[in-house]
Structure 1
Amino acid sequence: MTQEDGALDSLVRKRIRALRVAQGLSLEELAGRAHLSQSTLSRIESGHRRLALDQLVTLARALDTTLDQLVENAAEDVVITPMTHGPGTLTWPMKADPSFSIMRRRLTAARTEDPAKLRAHPGREWFVVLSGTAVLTLANRTYRIEKNHAAEFPTMLPHAITPERGPCDILFIFDRQARRGHRDTDDQVD
């Protein structure tokens, strides 16, 4: 066993124990769910028993996770470098779940709230205001979103987000469909 294999082995054992404890399960309860003896599970967690693929599969199911998540070794991918998309926009791609995108955007200029200029596209958006105050226009309703407050809405509603007075920093989370709706206009959020 290489040093890297040994580190992954240790990580998987720690992960099994951490998931068990986080779910409030005793050794006996998890062993019962995974169809293992309590002593076998104890030896797996402590490193005194070899990890077998069939046991990992049943443990993953018993812990309500996947085998991939149980054995993944993504320690090298902890830091995500942002990509720049136009002035004031940073995007962080989600490696663990590519169905979402995170974007930080600094809004500086209010645009007209002409209903004909509101955008609609498939998907959902969630955002939190980091500084300033944002004005969210959804169809014919307007909402003030202040610092540390958030909003979530289906993007099929015609919408626009503008700063109230002065600059406004916002952290957005888009699902895959909403991100596609913004791809053509990365120089403006909505």
Structure 2
Amino acid sequence: MAVDVNTILEGIGPRLHSARKARGRTLKSLAEETGLSVSTLSRLESGLRRPTLDLLIPLAQALHVALDQLVAAPASGDPRIHLEPRHHRQGSVLVPITRYPGRVQVFKQLLGPRERRLTSHPGYEWLYVLAGRLQLVLGEHEYQLAPGELAEFDTAKPHWFGPTGDEAVEILHLFGPFGDQAVNRTSPQP
């Protein structure tokens, strides 16, 4: 089956626009980070400029997305490679990585600013921060996590998590519906 290059190129602008908006980024802030002009970014998003790798690579890095997400590479048939994001209210995006009913579920999440509302339910969660800063409320305790930091907790305890401010936070989110807990077979050396 032949790949329609023009169709792939035409889809890059809208995906770039969606990725930027989902992360709460402005054209100006993205231009400052990548060294591209606001005009170039605007023309890329609107399809008035043909995207090239030298433009797309710094954009993918700045937006913390795989280049495949902007380019929409042809499907390989492997659902782990071509994940389907679910868009939620207030700019949040949930990407299921596993689909094992009744077992630990793994998600990549992009959380935009949202109302703080404590919830509790059966299960166990792990949150690993990929980009941005995460605010975690567990009962009466509050924590701020930076990239590379991890939290794990029993979801029966009232909890809430989201970005610390107006910028989105990107996390790896694991949820064990039956209180499954990780078993650490190694420990860091002092």
Q: What's the TM-score bracket when you normalise by the shorter of the two chains?
A: 0.3 to 0.5
User: How does the TM-score come out when normalised to structure 1?
Assistant: 0.46
**Higher normalized helix content (fraction of residues):** 1
User: How does the TM-score come out when normalised to structure 2?
Assistant: 0.46
- Select the structure of larger CA radius of gyration: 1
